[in-house]
Structure 1
Amino acid sequence: MTPDASENVVYLRSYGEHDRDDHEVVRRVLDATAEMLRERPFTDLTTRRVAERAGVPHSDVCAYFRSPDAIVAELYLGVLRDAPLSVDVELPARTRVVALFGQLVMLLADEPGFAAACSSALISTEPSVRAIRRRIHAELQRRVRTVLGSGAWPELAETLEFGLVGAMVQASSGAATFTQTADELAGVVAAVLPDEH
């Protein structure tokens, strides 16, 4: 028996004025934070200062973000999601992974203040940051598994993901330059992924 077509209809919640206001507040907070990180160290950032720069009530900032780490983590997630992802399946997996990792490590190379803030956010133990960090890791995982291809062992993908996250934290914290980190990470990929030639 064929189900009634009306059973397959999905009703989406309308995008009302309140939703637009929420979106605007978040956008202004993220934009203000990005501007401030170009001008001052992350340690000077507070939710109150971000609210002042964004021109929104402090209570609105706190309704969405519990801390500066949470704002930075959300900001980084946006940068990560906006980064292009293209896969040339004609290239060997090792070449594809090295190219992806180099791109991701170098994402923040031109913004050292933002990079340092991201390093702090990526290791923060604050509960509100953990939820955003799970989304960051999910996006990194999606990218790694896309360039590896569907036949890759899950353990291989996980090993590469751990290496990528560690390298990103190392570069963002200033422990090594972004270029050095990308080069070292390419060596790790070469050690983990077999040569396909």
Structure 2
Amino acid sequence: MSRGDSKTVEATRRRLTGKQADTVEKLTRAAVEVLSREGFAGMTIRMVATAAGVGTATAYTYFSSKEHLVAEIFWRRLRTTDSPASDDADPTVRVVAELRSIALLVADEQELSGAVNSALLGRDPDVEHLRVRIGAEIRKRISRALGEDPDPEVVESLELLYAGALVRAGMGYESYSDIADRLERSALLLLK
């Protein structure tokens, strides 16, 4: 199925018809608005449902928790954001561009970026499912950037570098923009 197929969209919990996909889209848009106003601690599924113009029970049909909803938002952004187009012959340049792009995915939205970290660290089974999908996508992008037959230990090291950098940003030690710069420097050290 193509990303642009509006008739059926795969969601975390099930495949969706066009109408259901529209409802999920309303909920994810409303969640970003509620997050920016209330923060993650203040956000509830009920608030998001109200902002989206749907019933709370309907919202819970699609999202088991606010963590699940926020993780879905990040997954959708990652999935629909193209890898940086880099024809550079140097795999290091391609990897750095990829890591920077992912690190900055929600950097301009302070409440969302903090919520993503909190959500992805949760134990909700639906979040776990998304965490696996997100991790697989990041691994695929790093591996593709490294080129043919990448060393699995290098791929894993870059994944750990990325995850640690984003946790550090999520803890408030540095902004996501600063973390993207540090991530770049660290990746360059690792890939030397």
TM-superposed CA distance for 1:175, in Å, is: 2.0
Residue 104 of structure 1 corresponds to which residue in structure 2? 102
**Aligned: 1:151 with 2:122:** no
State the SS of the aligned residue for 1:129.
Answer: helix
How far is 1:180 from its partner? 2.2
- Decide which moves more: 106-115 or 87-96: 87-96
Instruction: Please provide the CA RMSD for this pair.
Output: 1.7
Structure 1: where are the runs of 5+ without partners? Answer: 1-13
User: Structure 2 counterpart of 1:24, which letter?
Assistant: D
Deviations 1:109-155 (A, max 9, x none): 21001111101012112222101111111111111111111221111
1:55 corresponding residue in structure 2: 53
Separation in structure 2 between the aligned mates of residue 91 and residue 102 of structure 1, nearest angstrom: 18
Using the alignment, how far apart are the partners of 2:140 and 2:118 within structure 1?
Answer: 23
SS at match of 1:41: helix
Which sits farther off after the overlay, 151-160 or 179-188? 179-188
Percent identical pairs in the alignment equals: 31
> Which has the higher mean CA deviation after the structures are superposed, 63-72 or 150-159?
150-159
Identify which of structures 1 and 2 has the higher relative contact order when contacts are C-alpha pairs closer than 8 Å and 6+ apart.
1
* Deviation at residue 20 of structure 1 after TM alignment: 2.1
Identify which of 27, 43, 56 aligns with 1:29: 27
Find the aligned partners of 1:173 and 1:80 in 2 and give their Cα distance: 21
Number of aligned residue pairs: 179
Q: C-alpha separation between the residues in 1 aligned to 2:39 and 2:85?
A: 36
Task: Provide the residue aligned with 1:70 in structure 2.
Answer: 68
Give the structure-2-normalised TM-score: 0.86
Residue 94 of structure 1 corresponds to 92
Q: Is the 8 A contact 2:34 2:47 kept in 1?
A: no
What's the CA shift for 1:31? 0.9
Deviation at 1:87, TM superposition (A): 4.4
User: What amino acid does structure 2 have at the position aligned with 1:162?
Assistant: L
2:135 to 114, 137, 143: 137
Q: TM-score, normalised by structure 1?
A: 0.84
Equivalent residue, structure 2, for 1:81? 79
Distance 1:45 1:132 in 2: 20
For residues 136 and 127 of structure 2, the distance between their equivalents in structure 1, rounded to whole angstroms, comes to 14
What is the CA distance between 1:162 and its match in structure 2? 1.4
What SS does the aligned partner of 2:17 have? helix
Q: Distance in 2 between matches of 1:156 and 1:87?
A: 21
